[in-house]
């Protein structure tokens, strides 16, 4: 797999890692176990006992430590073996890899690269499920496809017109117009206005007046989408010259979604997501409706991307043909490739 390693990957939702219960995950083909220490702080270790290769995710939490339940080796949060039953001396080489880990925004983030470079400031500024301003639903899906295909999908929203014709019903705008694209240091920014949109049935405010609708998102390394959207009075798009608006001026529909793509193996990925309204623009009923819609739409993506993966596997010599909508995809993939090359150079010179 060709993915950047010096980045924070989402390993789990915070609530998935319960006290006393080790949690197994794979990231970039590496087996990882996450568990909570006595004070609730999570730790992440290579999911492999040094003795007989038993998975530590079948182990037992003992205070800050994790005990292998095959032959009883006891592991510290830093990966060192603290105890071997029946043996007084613990060899210095008796240890497994420990991964830098940060719990933030209701996610557990794991650093897969050089531990010396694990800077928490590089964690994307998502919004957690406990944020006071938003009412968010959440979930995850497992794909039988490589993560890159999901990332490509999230960098090209022209597919909304066709893949999501039944769910989002966005119409032709996303396919017939291009978003504003701005390269960022660790990602790509996408911004799009749709002008003079007719009011939908059941509108909450401003009776039946048309609106200018904005959707903007950052797609950040290693594969994290942070998106805000909202509806504004007609003329707002011109006022902001197609740039990002002030969301306090929105008429309705201010929502936030975060999505994170984690490559587990060469042909398996986990897709984490949350979505919901700002408290000034919705409630739990609206959140539940959005999550029902998301369930339908994300399943549409899953069907298409897994089918795409099968075609790729069965036609290994075939080449893609880029089109105008691939600009964001190309820029993001080049950013990843540049990071991978830099990491390779750094490894080779150490």
> Can you say how many angstroms the Cα of residue 12 is from the centroid of all Cα atoms in its chain?
10
Both tokens of 177, joined, read 């117009």
Q: Look up the pTM and report it.
A: 0.94
Q: List the CATH code of the domain at 137-336.
A: 3.90.380.10
Least confident window among 146-155, 206-215, 232-241, 265-274: 206-215
Give 169's pLDDT tier (boundaries 50, 70, 90): confident
Tokens of 134: 């938003």
The 10 Å Cβ neighbour count of residue 75 is 29
Residues of the chain with pLDDT > 90, as a percent, come to 90
State the pLDDT at residue 256.
97
Backbone angles phi, psi at 66, to 5 degrees: -130, 125
Residue 4 has a pLDDT of 95
Check pLDDT > 80 for residue 321.
yes
Give percent above pLDDT 70 in the chain: 96
Q: Is the pLDDT of residue 151 over 50?
A: yes
pLDDT bracket for residue 276 (50, 70, 90): very high
The model's pLDDT over 202-250, given as tens digits with 9 standing for 90+, comes to 555 555 789 999 999 999 999 999 999 999 999 999 999 999 999 999 9
172 pLDDT more than 90: no
Residue with tokens 């600009």: 327
Is pLDDT of 335 > 80? yes
Give burial (CB, 10 Å; 0-12/13-18/19+) of 238: exposed
* β-bridge mates for residue 42, sequence order: 36
Among residues 42, 58, 55, the alpha carbon closest in space to that of 10 is found at 42
Q: Which CATH class is domain 8-122?
A: mainly beta
Rounded to a whole number of angstroms, the distance between the first and last alpha carbons of the chain is 22
For the ranges 70-84, 142-156, 194-208, 283-297, the lowest mean pLDDT is seen at 194-208
Domain chopping of the chain, boundaries: 8-122, 137-336
Give the list of residues 6+ apart from residue 132 with CB closer than 8 angstroms, or none. 279
* Per-residue confidence (pLDDT) for residue 203, from 0 to 100: 52
Give the separation between CA 232 and CA 206, rounded to whole angstroms: 10
Predicted local distance difference test score (pLDDT) of residue 246: 96
Closest CA to 43 of 92, 101, 3: 101
pLDDT at 35 over 80: yes
Predicted local distance difference test score (pLDDT) of residue 209: 87
């Amino acid at each position: 797999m060709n993915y950047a390693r010096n980045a924070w990957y989402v390993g789990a939702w915070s609530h998935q890692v319960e006290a006393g219960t080790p949690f197994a995950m794979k990231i970039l083909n590496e087996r990882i176990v996450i568990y909570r220490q006595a004070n609730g702080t999570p730790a992440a270790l290579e999911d492999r006992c040094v003795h007989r290769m038993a998975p530590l995710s079948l182990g037992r939490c003992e205070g800050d430590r994790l005990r292998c339940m095959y032959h009883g080796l006891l592991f510290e949060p830093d990966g060192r073996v603290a105890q071997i039953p029946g043996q007084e001396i613990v060899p210095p080489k008796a240890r497994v890899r420990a991964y830098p880990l940060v719990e933030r925004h209701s996610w557990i983030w794991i650093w897969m690269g050089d531990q010396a470079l694990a800077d928490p400031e590089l964690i994307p500024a998502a919004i957690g499920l406990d944020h006071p301003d938003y009412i968010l639903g959440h979930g995850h899906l497992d794909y039988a496809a490589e993560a890159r295909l999901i990332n490509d999908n999230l960098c090209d929203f022209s597919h909304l017109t066709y893949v999501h014709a039944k769910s989002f019903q966005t119409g032709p705008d996303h396919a017939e117009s291009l978003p504003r694209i701005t390269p960022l240091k660790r990602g790509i920014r996408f911004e799009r206005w749709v002008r003079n949109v007719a009011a939908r049935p059941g509108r909450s405010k401003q009776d039946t007046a048309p609106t200018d609708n904005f959707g903007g998102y950052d797609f950040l390394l290693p594969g994290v989408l942070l998106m805000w959207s909202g509806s504004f009075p007609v003329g707002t798009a011109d006022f902001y010259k197609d740039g990002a608006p002030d969301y306090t001026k929105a008429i309705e529909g201010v929502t936030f979604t975060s999505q994170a793509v984690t490559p587990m193996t060469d042909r398996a990925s986990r897709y984490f997501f949350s979505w919901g309204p700002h408290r000034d623009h919705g409630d739990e009923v609206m959140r539940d409706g959005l999550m029902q819609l998301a369930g339908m739409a994300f399943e549409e993506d899953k069907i298409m991307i897994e089918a795409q993966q099968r075609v790729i596997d069965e036609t290994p010599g075939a080449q893609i043909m880029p089109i105008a909508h691939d600009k964001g995809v190309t820029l993001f993939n080049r950013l990843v490739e540049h990071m991978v090359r830099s990491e390779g150079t750094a490894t080779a010179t150490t």
